[in-house]
Structure 1
């Protein structure tokens, strides 16, 4: 079964600033909860993603078990969208689409994650009991952190 997680968030910064933040792989750890012990294993010559870029991570999502994860940037439409797909990792499918929409007063960013669990019925059960809520917590943390980084205080 393929699951979908969607989140949309408005930021008061400009499109260029949001794009620069989201497309810098060095910022991934900043928007990931410390409890996951998330670590990007690569160093990058460029601070911005590009089609074909591979990013390797370690993450400890559950019970202290460290997992290796690798994603590939499969599509980049500058200042509009990019997609990363899991190449190696815990899911049988992980496709994360990031979309950017310039609006009056800022930018709206939409995340759509399509994912599937391994292990058939057991994977479905683990999703229902653990994974669905864990992903919500991760994206809640991400939203709260991004709120602090990309939203400017209102001026009177």
Structure 2
């Protein structure tokens, strides 16, 4: 079994409370997801994040491939972090931790995603395509968050995907 980890850091010049208000509202996911992915919440996004919340999405990860994705918000510590886990969807495992940390210039958002591709060896063959797509998604997200909230000068953002 091969697991992959995506690790992302982005600094924003806003208070942690403002970052939390944005990130803990499921409706804002569409804002930070590339339009070509056809992201749409089907159910469960009416409230801010809470443990046990089930959210169902429709997404087009690759042209011509539409899928439903069901996640559960498993852990929440208001203003600090939340965790979403895939219950049904394109991955054999998807465990996504979102952390916020105050810095003198604003806030650092940290994402750690542990994922496993389906279909064993066949899944590993398509890993380069999945990795490329995830990098594009997170680059888009970084760009949109910078457009919305600005950029912390002198702080580098970070995105890395590796096998663990």
Give the shorter-chain TM-score range: over 0.9
Note closer, same or farther for the CA distance 1:96–1:149 as it changes in structure 2 (3 Å cut). same
Note closer, same or farther for the CA distance 1:137–1:101 as it changes in structure 2 (3 Å cut). same
Larger mean CA deviation between 81-90 and 142-151 belongs to 142-151
TM-score relative to the length of structure 2: 0.88
- Partners of 2:74 and 2:85 within 8 A in 1: yes
Structure 2 equivalent of residue 149 of structure 1: 148
Deviations 1:18-72 (A, max 9, x none): 00000000001110001111111126443x1000001100011113111000000
TM-score relative to the length of structure 1: 0.93
- Deviation at 1:99? 0.4
Deviations 1:110-139 (A, max 9, x none): 0111100000110000112x1010000000
- Unaligned 5+ segments in structure 1 are none
Q: How many residues align?
A: 152
CA distance in 1, matches of 2:149, 2:114: 25
Mapping of 1:13-52 within 5 angstroms? 13-42=14-43, 44-46=45-47, 48-52=48-52
Note closer, same or farther for the CA distance 1:153–1:77 as it changes in structure 2 (3 Å cut). closer
Structure 1 equivalent of residue 131 of structure 2: 132
Bigger relative CO (Cα 8 Å, ≥ 6 apart): 2
CA distance in 2, matches of 1:119, 1:152: 40
Counterpart check, 1:95 vs 2:95: yes
- Deviation at 1:150? 2.1
- Unaligned 5+ segments in structure 2 are 154-164
Larger mean CA deviation between 144-153 and 96-105 belongs to 144-153
